[in-house]
Amino acid sequence: MTAALACLPDADAALTAGLGRLLAAVLRPGDCLLLQGPVGAGKTHFARALIRASAGDPDAEVPSPTFTLVQSYDTPRGEIWHADLYRLTDPAELVELGLDEALAQAITLIEWPERMDPPPPDTLTVALRETAPERRAITLTGDPDRWTDIPRLTHIAQFLHGAGWSEAQVLPLAGDASTRRYFRLRDADRSAVLMDAPPGSCEPYLAMTSWLRDRGFAAPAVLAQDPAQGLLLLEDLGDDLVARVLQRDPARAAPLHDRITDLLVDLHRHPPPDTLPRLDGPALADQVGLFAEWYAPAAGAPGRGAGIGAAVRTLHEALCADVAPVVGLRDFHAENIVDRGDDLPLGLLDFQDAVAVHPAYDLVSVLQDARRDVDVGLERAQIDRYLAATGLPRDRFTAAYALLGAARNLRITGIFVRLCLTGGKPRYLQFLPRVWDAVRRDVAHPALAPLAAALDDIPAPTPDLIERIAARCGQTHPTG
């Protein structure tokens, strides 16, 4: 089924090129765009912007293929074929040119596709029609099930155009387990980061950005925003995520973690805003329910672990409720902290889910990282450093730390299995052994005996079990 997916009724040259650059960031080999419109409508202008963005070179030579019929380009995004069929005299020439093979293995841009009979299937048609000098209407048509992202991309193109970033190259950044995605924008000597979030979901992020920046913490400045559409343009804090820095230079682990712990000490001096949700015993009990719902049945133990939530709730009341909550950034780990050099504060990312929680929570988050190993000696040293700075009682704090670590890691285990079974994302399963090891170390604390007992009959994520879960990737429920 083919339908109109989106329309830009009044696009200038910058918006036309900006749409091409944005599409370059998401197209994959096998994708085909049919560029329709009369002479001078802007088809080659659009194609040239797309190809240059894919090549990562804003000045790359991209001649019109009017006389050669086809030009091909090797780019980091894959091979691109740009065809202009205006002078095609015999459709059989397309076979001689190899265009039929390119359709299967390259990104193809085809001007004057009406010369083909029949046109390729599953294409995206970009129809350009001049409406005034240097202005055009752009209509994008295709199968809505095949080109699901097109309406969203046109919103993004208009947002970037209005913010003055239409000329930027758009580069996807590594995704995470959330519903948000990020792109880096590069335009000459400036850069920024685009956050593409579900419409209407940005207010918590904006509120925490203001709160953090007002207190001297290095949250990215907001350069432009459309909260209703879920679009934010943010200051680019750079590529030196702490996880990458430590991968390059493991010897920096101790000094970097000293800085991270000191940041938490400073953060916890500020009372949390009243608007933050409380991550207390009942809330933690609800969260660990994901473990019983997803991991236990996937591990062949349906119905087991039902007492985990009650144990967490009771233990939180006994071990944590007497300490005033602090701001917890919640996803506080090495992939969300940026090393900007010793003379600048650490940059903070991904804090829109901030909560009011026991002071141990973010320390657990960074020291029991699901994605990377943290030396147990370093973990102990950072707990010591935090306690020395805050004066909190050691025995109570370490018991609370173990409880929050166990609860957090049980929740993560359930989420990783859910991401595989319903989201088709098996890559998170590789982290299960590390997360489970942290759970076992946490529940070994004498104060957590009731939680350890609730976990006794749950199988560990052995390689064989992980393989069995991965084989069912894409199911709707672990028992399905």
End-to-end CA distance of the chain: 31
HSE toward the beta carbon, residue 162, CA cutoff 13 A: 13
pTM of the shown model: 0.90
Query: Strand 169-172's sheet: what is its strand order?
Result: 169-172, 181-187, 190-196, 231-235, 222-226
- Distance from C-alpha of 44 to C-alpha of 35, rounded to nearest angstrom: 9
Can you list the positions of beta strands (E) in 45-180? 70-75, 78-84, 107-111, 124-132, 135-142, 169-172
Task: Give the domains, in start order, of the chain with CATH numbers.
Answer: 3-167 (3.40.50.300), 181-235 (3.30.200.20), 242-471 (3.90.1200.10)
Under a CB-based contact definition with an 8 Å cutoff, are residues 43 and 72 in contact?
no
Which CA distances in Å does 324 have to 142, 210, 269, 321, 475?
A: 55, 23, 11, 8, 42
Amino acid at 384: D
Tokens standing for 190? 């400036």
Digit-by-digit pLDDT tens for the chain (480 residues) are 889 999 999 999 999 999 999 999 999 999 999 999 999 899 999 999 999 999 999 999 999 888 888 899 999 989 999 999 988 877 777 777 788 888 999 999 999 998 887 888 899 999 999 999 989 999 999 999 999 999 999 999 999 999 999 999 999 987 665 688 999 999 989 999 999 999 999 999 999 999 999 999 999 999 999 999 999 999 999 999 999 999 999 999 999 999 999 999 999 999 999 999 999 999 999 999 999 999 999 999 888 888 999 999 999 999 999 999 999 999 999 999 999 999 999 999 999 999 999 999 999 999 999 999 999 999 999 999 999 999 999 999 999 999 999 999 999 999 999 999 998 999 999 999 999 999 999 999 999 999 999 999 899 999 999 999 999 998 766 655
